[in-house]
Structure 1
Amino acid sequence: MQPMRRITFISFLITVSLYSWGQEKRYKFLETRPINEKFIVDYSDRLSIKIFGIVKTNQIAHVNHETDKKLEYRPNESLNIGLGIGYKWFGLDAAFNFGGVNNDDDKFGKTKRFDFRPSIYTRKFAMDINIQKYKGYYLYNPEDYISGFNASGSYPIRSDIKTYRYGASLLYVLNHAKFSYRAAFIYNERQVKSAGSFLVGPYFSYFRMDADSTLIIPEAESEFDLSQDFRGSEYIRYGLAGGYGYNLVLGHRVFVSLSLVLGLGPEIKKTPAINGFLSDTESKFTGRLATRIAIGYNAPKFFFGMSAAGVYAGERDETEDFLERGVSHAKFFVGKRFNPPKLFLPKRGK
């Protein structure tokens, strides 16, 4: 079995296992009750269907530690259109790339990607899994280094750059009786009164970048340390994160949701032997920032809105250039709730 297929299969088994696990009453932490009905309306017994568009990105940057100048690379970002369904705490989104929508390969190059980011939101927990493999990037800010660069033409393309990201995070919602993450991102609940909650939980991530040559282009060689080459370097980080989320409700149906979560823990960097330097392993404590924002309209039968989320890493180094990494996505959607067909989606017995 191919490595990526194996990872996908394992993730699928984890998702199915958690779903089956949640059906048994003795696992109370997966239950949707209790909630404070003055703050949250529960629609988990209804079937929600939505149409959405999503743009995902996966950026890297070589950063000069003295001047903060950077060479930023991004994949060719494409708009995917998809369909999502939700029932109980379970949600599934499937998005597809339509050729007629994304036809700018001549300008930004072609990106091959495997991007699997399932999320599981229960009453008390928010779990995110991240599995990505990207090949093909372009230089996002060539005008900073290439004199006379014309943005209407082709950008410098690096079809040889490959990145690998694997990670997972788990957040416990302390005030889960009044604050609903699911109201803002899964839409099987509705926040009817403003509330917030502290969030805390662990995280883990792995990152690696490969390329045929350095990220430093010839026009920028005077601006960066040529001895810093991040090809083949691996970054393993884990730690504990904490933050706060708040749902602001206007008129019981319009809402704005924002959460900021800061993480702190060790990062292990493994550098291969390259450019005459020996392989090396170093570790240090680094930070991690995860953000979520959502704006929308949430009524009993109809909902629409937009949301965005991002995770940013790459701790600033005061002594040498460093590699900045980030992953984010933006989504807009419109959906409707229905009474579930009893034949296929019977209500769970009490």
Structure 2
Amino acid sequence: MKVVSFKEKIRAALRWKMALAAIGVFLLYDVNQSVANTPWTPLSSSPQDSSYVLPMRQYLSIRAYNIIKTTDLQVRNRDVGQPLIFRPNNGLGIGLGFTYKILALDLGFVIPASMRYRGDNPTTKFDLLSTLYGKKHVFDLTLQYYEGYDLANANTVFDGNPPQSALSMRSDISSIDLALSYLYVLNHDQFSFQASFLGDVIQRKSAGSVTLHGFAGLYGLSADSALVRHEFGNGLDRQAHITQVANLSTGTGIGYAHTFVLPRNFFITLSGAPLLMLNATLAEVNHPEFDDIEDTRFNMRLFTRNAVGYNAKRFYLIFNLIYDNFLVRAGEETRIDYAPLKMKLFFGYRIGKDL
């Protein structure tokens, strides 16, 4: 029986993740495309309680938006407490979109001048955080590929005197995040996520719902050398010398969401869900004094989906935030956390003679 080495296992895992990312890039093509929100209606759909939810999908709605998307990586020693925070080279995206009946689509691009880093080292991104909102069902699809990270808290790690190389963009660090999440809304007759995140219905009265969640995901990170270069990382812990990470996660949980309808068509939506997940984690450590990491255990994922805005029959202005924090304990002292984040502000106008 052939014995597969640790490095072969982690590289095989990363190879097929990268292949999936390549398929996604081929199908969607535009690396700065933002397909943000698409409603989904089951064939057996029944109308919602009109005293709570007013549908507006029969009207063509056009909108302009700006958006920020990212996934931070935090690697920490549980005993030390100070994490290494790595952040991809992101910027502000702008775009246009529309909603009509069961279709909603946003297309945009990232403003180059808004990128945090514009030096000589190349950076690449493919950034798809897409949500399909239905009356009962919500699907979140994540497909992110980043090439180019910097150590965001270098000043803290190096006690206020970081070397210049610790401040530069690391174009050799790349990551892939592929995940699918599902949410079921129990009180779907009176509560609507579509009102707060698409604006294609109007929440007329305050209402809330218990939500049921399930998900599966893959996360991979690869670097040509240690996350903190050896000439600076030798005095740090094992986490500074990680060069490869592969993490498989699946889990479930229960949450709650509530929309507070305020006077004059304003609203606030708050939701959260603590989710239990099973993680299988592999990490390669490029240092002779430290062992590689291979660990399987239960961890926590914290998910929140919030919005605030104005939603009237003709105009709507909405800000929403989706934050997802995977808290991954790998081994007795290592934490490898990653957190997809999407913030979006959009203004919409509905077209209809009877509005």
The normalised TM-score by structure 2 is 0.82
**Contact 2:91–2:112 (CA<8 Å) still a contact in 1?**
no
**1:331-350 alignment, distance < 5 Å:** 331-339=344-352
Query: Within 1, Cα distance between the matches of 2:212 and 2:242?
Result: 32
Aligned to 2:14: none
**1:261-340 alignment, distance < 5 Å:** 261-271=273-283, 275=287, 281-316=294-329, 319-339=332-352
Task: Give CA-to-partner distance per residue, 1:116-164, whole Å, 9 cap, x none.
Answer: 22211111011110001100011111111335449xx993321111001
Task: Give CA-to-partner distance per residue, 1:22-69, whole Å, 9 cap, x none.
Answer: 58xxx31xx2x3211121111011121110011111111221210210
**Contact 2:40–2:133 (CA<8 Å) still a contact in 1?**
no
Aligned to 2:243: 231
Aligned to 2:60: 47
**Contact 2:242–2:286 (CA<8 Å) still a contact in 1?**
no
**1:1-350 alignment, distance < 5 Å:** 3-7=20-24, 22=41, 27-28=43-44, 31=45, 33-102=46-115, 104-106=117-119, 111-149=123-161, 155-217=167-229, 218-219=231-232, 221-225=234-238, 229-251=241-263, 253-271=265-283, 275=287, 281-316=294-329, 319-339=332-352
Instruction: Provide closer, same or farther for how the CA distance between residues 46 and 82 of structure 1 changes in structure 2, counting only shifts above 3 A.
Output: same
What is the aligned-residue RMSD (CA, Å)?
A: 3.1
Query: Within 1, Cα distance between the matches of 2:245 and 2:113?
Result: 37
Instruction: Provide closer, same or farther for how the CA distance between residues 318 and 65 of structure 1 changes in structure 2, counting only shifts above 3 A.
Output: farther
Aligned residues: 325
1:245 Cα deviation after fit? 0.6
Instruction: Name segments (4+ residues, structure 1) moved above 6 Å.
Output: 9-12, 277-280
Structure 2 unaligned residues grouped into runs of 5+: 1-18, 30-37
Instruction: Provide closer, same or farther for how the CA distance between residues 20 and 10 of structure 1 changes in structure 2, counting only shifts above 3 A.
Output: farther
The normalised TM-score by structure 1 is 0.83
Worse-matched range after superposition: 297-306 or 33-42: 33-42
Instruction: Provide closer, same or farther for how the CA distance between residues 42 and 21 of structure 1 changes in structure 2, counting only shifts above 3 A.
Output: closer
**Contact 2:233–2:241 (CA<8 Å) still a contact in 1?**
no
Query: Within 2, Cα distance between the matches of 1:192 and 1:21?
Result: 21
Query: Within 1, Cα distance between the matches of 2:28 and 2:315?
Result: 31
The percentage of aligned residue pairs carrying the same residue is 28
Structure 1 unaligned residues grouped into runs of 5+: 13-18, 341-350
